[in-house]
């Protein structure tokens, strides 16, 4: 499975450094000396709350869509057949997001058919 950032650049490559943040938050995002996001639960909740909020139409484009398994994707677009996941911009979280997207994709293609793509956004 390939995971792509919004701009089309591949993100989440195992062992590779992330190419850059793809989601611009209104919040001040703390970073470490390597430029990676220092994540916290509180910050993550705030950033997720603002993620894709202007695109969600409650029907074909949905934030926090719950799959039949109970897993919750950060955003799903039924028109473009794209599943989005948002993670802090650091290697551990990018790897976690990549694995989550693979699981979501498998379930979504079982339920809704093939042809879906995934996007891993980072902040």
- Position 28 pLDDT exceeds 60: yes
- Dihedral (C-alpha) 99, 104, 107, 110: value to the nearest 10 degrees? -110
- The domain of 84 spans 41-122
Instruction: Measure the CA–CA gap between 69 and 46, rounded to whole angstroms.
Output: 25
Q: What is the pLDDT of residues 87-111, one digit of tens each?
A: 999 999 999 999 999 999 999 999 9
Task: Collect all residues with Cβ–Cβ distance below 8 Å to 92 and sequence separation of at least 6.
Answer: none
Give a yes or no: residue 79 inside a domain: yes
For the chain, how big is the Rg over CA atoms in Å? Answer: 14
pLDDT one-digit tens code per residue, 43-61: 999 999 999 999 999 999 9
Number of structural domains (the chain) is: 1
CA dist., res. 59 & res. 37, Å (int): 32
CA atoms within 13 A of residue 79's CA, in its CB half-sphere: 8
Residue 33 covered by a domain: no
61 within some domain: yes
């Amino acid at each position: 499975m390939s995971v792509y950032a919004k701009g089309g650049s591949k993100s989440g490559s195992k062992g590779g450094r992330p190419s850059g943040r793809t989601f611009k938050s209104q919040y001040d995002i703390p970073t470490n000396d390597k430029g990676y996001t220092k994540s916290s639960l509180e910050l993550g909740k705030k950033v997720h709350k603002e993620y894709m909020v202007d695109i969600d139409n409650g029907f074909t484009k949905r934030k926090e869509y719950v799959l039949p398994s109970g897993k919750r994707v950060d955003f799903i677009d039924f028109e473009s057949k794209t599943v989005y996941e948002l993670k802090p911009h650091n290697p551990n979280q990018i790897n976690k997001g990549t694995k989550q997207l693979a699981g979501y994709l498998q379930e979504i293609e079982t339920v809704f058919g093939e042809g879906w793509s995934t996007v891993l956004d980072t902040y």
